[in-house]
Amino acid sequence: MCGRYVQVSKLEVLEKRFEAEATQPELWQPNANVAPGTRAPVVTSDAPKSIQWYQFGFRPSWGTAQMMFLNARAEGDHNPENDPGYRGAKGIIQKPSFRKAIRSQRCLVLADAFIEGPFDRKLSEPYLVYLKDKERPFAMAGIWDSWTDPNTQRAMYSFAIITTTANEVLQHIRHPRSPVILPQSAEAAWLSPDTPLADITDLLAPWPSEGMNAYPISPAIKRPTAQGLELLQPIGPRVTPEEELRLTSHIELQGAKPR
């Protein structure tokens, strides 16, 4: 799953990169530890030129107050063993909770990195996972919906991150899943209602492992309210060796320092 991620790029960087204008710029703040229940920036299919703030934790329009999905499996009920070589059907299109959203309520989840840990240790042994070549911010594939509180009649807008099988970097840290990261060239198609569903499901693939890396960070990030760039400092070697850099330079270059 992908239950934590990093979004620290400045608002003007997000607006330029995604060619969208923030609807409520006062809500922006750097977040080194985007946790469930947090409002975070997204670009949605019904407003592709706007950056909006939705809650991390998808609640279907027909759901209950207790229902929340952080992630939506691209394979749906298929591939229960999380076989990294799975190339079969994308069962998300049949899942009752997601079949409407994957067709018409897609979004870009704006991020600079994400955080995962071994399947058995989770965030007790966290890793910061980032894209190489300073490729940040980037977009994770998401779905969104709105849910109306029956008591207050207020609408809540929320999203989930779509996950897929693990590439070699995620396998190295013994995590069986990876968020779907979209190539920049595919972002417009992901948001467009005119994109055929077959083309949408073709995008639900792991990011090439040669374009990704990771390093261990402090388990202090396990606490949902923990904040601060110090949480993102490496405490061990990277999964794939890279040219050694001073710590401050590494953070700036690899996606964890506000620009």
**Can you give the C-alpha Rg of the chain in angstroms?**
17
pTM: 0.92
Mean pLDDT of 110-135: 95
pLDDT score of 245 more than 60 = no
Tens of pLDDT, residue by residue over 185-228, are 999 999 999 999 999 999 999 999 999 999 999 999 999 999 99
Q: What is the pLDDT of residue 66?
A: 80
Domain ranges of the chain: 4-254
Tens of pLDDT, residue by residue over 46-89, are 999 999 999 999 999 998 878 899 999 999 999 999 999 999 99
Confidence grade of residue 37 (pLDDT, cut at 50, 70, 90): very high
Mean pLDDT of 136-157: 94
pLDDT score of 12 more than 90 = yes
d(CA 79, CA 85): 10
Q: What is the pLDDT of residue 1?
A: 66
The CATH number of domain 4-254 is 3.40.50.10070: no
pLDDT score of 250 more than 60 = no
Q: What is the pLDDT of residue 65?
A: 79
Across the chain, mean pLDDT equals 92
